[in-house]
Structure formats: structure tokens, C-alpha cells
Amino acid sequence: NIFSPVSGSRSSKTFKPKKNIPEGSHQYELLKHAEATLGSGNLRQAVMLPEGEDLNEWIAVNTVDFFNQINMLYGTITEFCTEGSCPLMSAGPRYEYHWADGTNIKKPIKCSAPKYIDYLMTWVQDQLDDETLFPSKIGVPFPKNFMSVAKTILKRLFRVYAHIYHQHFDSVMRLQEEAHLNTSFKHFIFFVQEFNLIDRRELAPLQELIEKLGSKDR
């Protein structure tokens, strides 16, 4: 039954707590701008740096937004992504991911998809909550290494999309979330392409889909 309370709360079920951008801040204004341009339906235009804005800040706001989107998308299918169904973190038969974050886990470890995604989303959350990396206060400068951190975050978030598409797309279809997933992923891809944030090699598991999404917008 579509109207059962369980499915009603489905769309608001996130995997990790949502990361909020403080209201009234400049970043909040930027987020509102991003949402407004997205509404126009032209995603290529929506990802472009607004005139006169700081690139780091634009990337920061969008990175938080993508974290929240993926958090929600994965939240809808966590019950299908289990130790039993996904003993390895993979994106199809040719791509398998091993987790390392360079601090707590230095040597990459093989683990199940739910475990991997838990590590990954917790790690991203820690970066987003770090005021020295993602300053939320006006006038606090972004650190020198901001771009490389943002690239690592986006590269890792991509893996969650890749896993969902390869291993759980049938569940996504059953839940009628595929339009939501496709729009979110397309927005993500256009964004990382616009600013050259993820290496092509990393995008290989979803290359065909990426080409298909891009060809519709030429």
C-alpha cells in the first residue's frame, strides 16, 4: 500500500543525519540560488559558478547538497543493501572498492557494501563538520587543500551512486525512485564535469550512463 506510513516517511529517511547549511548565511543564499536554477530544468546552466561568487564556496555548498541527496537515496534502499546481498562493495563485476581513509584505516580493507558506505558517509560527514575545511562563517577563508579534499569527497560519493545503480537499481525501480536517482546523478555528473573534479578513470563504472545523460543535453 503506497499510503502506508512507512512509505510516506520513506522520502525523508536519510542514512546519516542531514547536514544543514546555516540559514541566513551566504552559503544558504547560494544553496537557494542553486535550487532556483535547478528548477529551470537546465542542469548544465544550473551547475555553473554564479557571477562574482567564490569557486571554493560554490563547490562547498554543492558538496554538502550532494551528500544530503545521496544520504537520502541510499536511505531509501538500506534494507536491500545487507551483508548478505552485498558482501563486497562493488559497482558491477569489474569494479570493487576497498576502504581506507588514511587516518583510522591506512591499509585498504575489503568489506561489505553497507559497512563500506557507513565508513564512507561517516568520513564525509566528519569532513563537512570540520570548520577548518568547510568554514560556515563569513570571511573565514577556505584552506589551501580545500580543492583536493572536495575532490576526494566527490570521488567517494560517486561510488555510492555506482553501487546503487549496479546492485540495487531493481529496488529503486520498485520504489519508483528512479527519476529521483537519475536527476540527482545527472546533476552530480554535470557538476563534477563543469569543474573537472573527478578523474575519468574513476567514472568508468557508470561511463555508458554518463554518456547517455550527456548526449540528451547537447
The answer on whether 111 is annotated among ligand-binding residues is no
Q: How far apart are CA 63 and CA 21, in angstroms?
A: 11
Nearest to 147 by CA among 193, 102, 202, 195: 195
The answer on whether 187 is annotated among ligand-binding residues is no
Q: How far apart are CA 52 and CA 62, in angstroms?
A: 17
Cell of 29: 543564499
Q: Which residues of 126-141 are buried (b: 16+ CB within 10 A; e: fewer)?
A: ebbeeeebbbbeeeee
In the three-class reduction of DSSP (H, G, I as helix; E, B as strand; rest coil), residue 186 is classed as helix
Please give the distance of CA 102 from its chain centroid, rounded to a whole number.
20
Report the interhelical angle of 55-77 vs 26-39 (nearest 10°): 70
The answer on whether 168 is annotated among ligand-binding residues is yes
Residues 161 and 172 sit within 8 Å (Cβ to Cβ)? no
Q: How far apart are CA 79 and CA 95, in angstroms?
A: 22
Count of C-beta atoms within a 10 Å radius of residue 48: 15
Annotated binding site: 81, 86, 163, 168
Annotated binding site for Zn(2+): 81, 86, 163, 168
